Structure 1
Amino acid sequence: MQQTKKTYTLQEATKKLEHYCAYQERCHKEVAQKLTGMHMIPEAIDVIIVHLLQHNFLNEERFAKTFVSGKFKFKAWGRSRLTYELKKKDISKVNINQALATISEEEYNEYFNYLAEKKANSIKEPNVFKKKKKFVDYFLYRGWESYLVYDKANELIK
């Protein structure tokens, strides 16, 4: 028995993608992937993306700011990781920089210091070197600048 794949008219696909974008901020790449997954032809994909842009369902600048704010607050990602993840989503350098600028230097450092103290206290490792390594690995993976991480590790873990 041959399985038939669902096909969408331009109107159906447009409605579906309006809901997809209204539910959560999306970037162009995610929308294009979704449409490709729906077996839409490239011409239809372009028409739908233009429609979403014109009707403000799709806005890369807004996406970048929302992404940075959410991942910084809830996943405790540093600037390096945020930049890397946005580049993977083909976000322009201008939008990446604007989004990162929404986090003040003061807020960034305060949050890092808070997280660092919490993490240093939570690592139950008697060996100082292993404890430092765990601390450093944790923050570098999350994209915090290495100079911040190493300075803090040396300050908190003795």
Structure 2
Amino acid sequence: MENEQKSIQEVFAKMAALCSRSEQCSFDIQRKITAAGIDDEQATEMISKLKEEKFIDDERYARSYVSDKFKFNKWGKVKMRHYLKMKGLSDSLILNALEEIDQDKYRDVLIKTMKEKARAVKKKNKFEKMAQIIRFTQNRGFEPELIHRYLNDVAG
């Protein structure tokens, strides 16, 4: 029993240290705790304690994730929403995080991404070129209606 307590405390300390170094969500930490051999009930208690002590905050995680993926990876909202959903975050948390993106910057990143792709495409046919731009920007996670809104400005 004493070794089990020590093991639980060690895992808790490891998770707290991990959360201190980088933003983590409860889903990822739950998986890591379970992988360390801690049963579900104790894992749930550990997650609660980590949340209580502000090591884990899913809202903070979602905001940070969205900010980083937009700033560094130039991802669109569709792709970010998908990945956050896979982390088990609620729709309201995801929506709130996505709403923090400045709309003008978002549009500018989309247009810049489309222009860069348009320059890189070596198709003679305008429709093939447009199709490649559409596929590329959709893979980046931008909304089809926004892509089509600015497509003629870019592919023309």
What is the CA distance between 1:58 and its match in structure 2? 0.1
**1:41 aligned residue:** 39
Task: Please state how far the C-alpha of 1:60 moved relative to its aligned partner.
Answer: 0.6
Q: Percent identity?
A: 28
1:70-89 equivalences in 2 (<5 Å):
70-89=68-87
Q: Distance in 1 between matches of 2:87 and 2:144?
A: 24
1:4-38 Cα offsets, whole Å, 9 max, x none, are xxx87111000010112112111111011111111
Please report how far the alpha carbon of residue 116 of structure 1 lies from its aligned counterpart in structure 2 after TM superposition: 1.8
Structure 1 letter corresponding to 2:62: A
Deviation per residue, 1:98-125 (Å, 9 max, x gap):
1112112112112212222222112222
Deviations 1:65-124 (A, max 9, x none): 000001111111111111111111111122112111211211211221222222211222
1:118 and 2:116 are equivalent in the alignment: yes
Give 2:59's aligned residue.
Answer: 61
Q: TM-score, normalised by structure 1?
A: 0.88
1:153, CA displacement in angstroms? 2.5
Unpaired stretches in structure 2, ≥5 consecutive residues: none
Question: What is residue 130 of structure 2 aligned with on the other side?
Answer: 132
Partner of 2:105: 107
**Which of the pair is proportionally richer in helix?**
2
CA RMSD of aligned residues (A): 1.6
Moved over 6 A (4+): none
Q: TM-score, normalised by structure 2?
A: 0.89
After superposition, residues 18-29 of structure 1 pair within 5 angstroms as 18-29=16-27
- Residue in 2 that maps onto 1:3: none
- Aligned amino acid, residue 37 of structure 1: A
5+ long unaligned stretches in structure 1:
1-6
Is the contact between residue 115 and residue 155 of structure 2 (CA under 8 Å) also seen in structure 1? no
The count of corresponding residues between Structure 1 and Structure 2 is: 152
Task: Give me the whole-angstrom Cα distance separating, in 2, the residues matched to 1:151 and 1:94.
Answer: 27
Query: Per-residue deviation at 1:152?
Result: 2.5
2:85 and 2:41 map into 1 onto residues whose CA distance is 25
Equivalent position amino acid for 2:134 in 1: V
Instruction: Give the counterpart letter for 1:19 in structure 2.
Output: A
